[in-house]
Amino acid sequence: MPLLISMVGRKIDILGKIAIWLPWNIVGNATFDSNTNRIIMAWNTTDGFVRCFIVGFIGVVLFYTLGLIMFKKKEIR
């Protein structure tokens, strides 16, 4: 799904902005520094760390709310 949104986001600007914030795209945009033989991940920078933190928080709230709504009418035994 994130890859599909990224491809469509090349044509539609708002989907491109949404695709940048998807977790798969944050992790998938790692680069390799051949001088130091290290992988540079998004959370190595301050902006990247804040972005990862915000996306994680939104994901937790979204799935927590979704779980409450889905299990509201069901009794778990």
Average pLDDT (45-72) is 89
Percent of the chain with pLDDT over 70: 94
Residue 77 CA neighbour count, 13 Å, CB half:
1
Query: For the whole model, what pTM was predicted?
Result: 0.66
Name the residue among 5, 27, 7 with its Cα closest to residue 18. Answer: 5
User: Residue 37, by phi and psi: left (phi above 0), alpha (psi -120 to 50) or beta?
Assistant: left
Average pLDDT of the residues in 43-55: 86
* Count of all residues that appear for the chain in the document: 77
Rounded mean pLDDT of 4-33?
A: 81
